[in-house]
């Protein structure tokens, strides 16, 4: 659970990447989408307009990085209106967004249930693009609960669908997903190959704003392979790509990745500078999760450099934001850092109280882990049922084949008997005809003799 929020970010980027249909500038402008929604609402019968529902769905996923509750609320409206007018594609897209919101809030089981339901509907309607999106989303959920094989199967299925239908962006995203699976399984070389393949496809298709994400991923893999110099090169490349495009969200990710690298390689002071850069840009973008994450990382670095007073101010700021956006994992980690800071300041009672809160939040996360285990057990049970069903069908097929073989054998024997009987019958008729012919010839001869 320590890096749950990181994996959630990758999941949500996946949703954004594969569902986007507007230009990059339009995607960034939530205000214009909100204005469109309000304009629709001034028109009589707007709730029956599919264009209104599409705008709602698009607005919902634009909130993915800031307010998951807004994603949930807007998507539920879109789902309600879609149900009323029977707009099935709108229903599926709204359910995808609802699943995204559940995932961001750490409700993996709810996310899985919603998106499985969406998958059933999409398959009934033959919505190939949405099926591909759901393959990616569900594979991310399966990765988070440790079902890597299932995640890999879905990624390959999504790749097949995307390739058959010419969805180039989804092809690239599925290679990205496969890279994540390989990374989690420890197949680092395969992970790098998949990330590199994904990056090349995005580059060829002209999606330059996504390249920095793949460079960050590749850099992390190199760091895991104990090649820090190569990793640093990819992080710096990601930052340059984001700057060249003026992609502020990409700059936030790149600065955070550089900060993590510097902290892990023993440079906390430089790491704080990178985190501060990330926080400043994220604040302008309104991405409160990234601001809270950066603040907590800075607080941890300050504590490590012997500055508990400054660390205390920073951790309080990060905790306020984490609690505001109801991000349980960030809140728990922040409370733990706060406890360490309070202990360093000599305020042991406050440190103990914070640690108790940390433990309490841990119980909540443990409940989530228990639910995750239950989901995993349910998956294994269903997998076992599928195997039993397949085996039963196989046995039934073998029985049908055996019965068919017996039928053909009996039929063949009957045919042989009939042929033999027919042969004997015809031979008997020929013999009788010969005898009759000879007898007739004798009679004719006797008649001629009598006439003479």
> So where are the chain's domains?
1-200, 393-430
What's the burial of 285, exposed, middle or buried (CB within 10 Å: 0-12/13-18/19+)?
middle
| Residue 216 tokens, joined | 């960050």
Q: How confident is the model at residue 328 (pLDDT cuts 50, 70, 90)?
A: confident
- The helix-helix angle for 128-144 and 108-125 (nearest 10°) equals 160
- Across 323-329, average pLDDT: 79
Lowest mean pLDDT among 86-90, 124-128, 199-203, 321-325: 321-325
Residue 372 has pLDDT above 70, yes or no: no
- For position 9, what pLDDT does the model report? 45
The architecture of the domain spanning 1-200 is Alpha Horseshoe (1.25)
* 376-387 per-residue burial string, b: 16 or more CB within 10 A, e: under 16: eeeeeeeeeeee
Of residues 157 and 441, more confidently modeled: 157
pTM value surpassing 0.75? no
Q: What percent of the chain has pLDDT over 70?
A: 85
CB half-sphere exposure, 123, CA atoms < 13 A: 9
């Amino acid at each position: 659970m320590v890096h749950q929020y990181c994996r959630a970010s990758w999941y949500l980027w996946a949703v954004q990447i594969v569902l986007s249909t507007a230009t990059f500038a339009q995607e960034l402008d939530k205000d214009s989408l909100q204005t469109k929604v309000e304009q629709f609402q001034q028109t009589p019968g707007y709730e029956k307009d599919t264009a209104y529902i599409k705008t709602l769905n698009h607005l919902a996923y634009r909130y993915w990085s800031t307010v998951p509750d807004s994603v949930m609320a807007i998507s539920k409206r879109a789902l309600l209106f879609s149900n009323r007018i029977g707009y099935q594609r709108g229903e599926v897209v709204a359910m995808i967004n609802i699943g995204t919101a559940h995932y961001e809030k750490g409700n993996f089981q709810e996310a899985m249930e919603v998106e499985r339901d969406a998958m059933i509907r999409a398959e009934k309607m033959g919505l190939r693009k949405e099926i591909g999106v759901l393959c990616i989303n569900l594979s991310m959920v399966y990765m988070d609960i440790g079902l890597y094989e299932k995640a890999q199967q879905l990624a390959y299925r999504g790749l097949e669908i995307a390739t058959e239908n010419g969805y180039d962006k989804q092809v690239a995203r599925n290679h990205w997903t496969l890279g994540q699976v390989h990374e989690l399984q420890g197949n680092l070389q395969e992970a790098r190959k998949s990330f590199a393949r994904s990056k090349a496809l995005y580059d060829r298709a002209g999606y330059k704003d996504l390249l920095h994400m793949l460079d960050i991923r590749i850099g992390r893999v190199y760091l895991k392979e104990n090649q820090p110099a190569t990793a640093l090169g990819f992080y710096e490349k990601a930052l340059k790509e984001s700057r060249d495009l003026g992609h502020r969200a990409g700059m936030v990710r790149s600065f955070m990745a550089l900060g993590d690298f510097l902290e892990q390689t023993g440079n906390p002071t430089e790491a704080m500078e990178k985190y501060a850069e990330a926080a400043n840009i994220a604040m302008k973008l309104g991405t409160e999760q990234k601001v809270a994450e950066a603040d907590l990382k800075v607080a941890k670095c300050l504590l490590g450099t012997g500055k508990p007073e400054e660390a205390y101010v920073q951790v309080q700021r990060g905790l306020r934001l984490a609690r505001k956006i109801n991000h349980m994992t960030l809140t728990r980690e922040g409370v733990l850092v706060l406890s360490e800071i309070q202990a360093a300041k000599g305020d042991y009672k406050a440190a103990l109280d914070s640690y108790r809160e940390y433990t309490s939040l841990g119980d909540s996360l443990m409940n989530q882990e228990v639910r995750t285990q239950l989901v995993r057990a349910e998956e294994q049970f269903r997998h076992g049922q599928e195997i039993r069903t397949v085996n039963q069908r196989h046995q039934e097929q073998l029985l049908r084949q055996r019965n068919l073989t017996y039928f053909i054998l009996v039929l063949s024997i009957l045919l042989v008997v009939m042929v033999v009987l027919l042969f004997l019958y015809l031979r008997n008729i020929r013999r009788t005809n010969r005898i009759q012919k000879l007898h007739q010839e004798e009679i004719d001869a006797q008649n001629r003799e009598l006439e003479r």
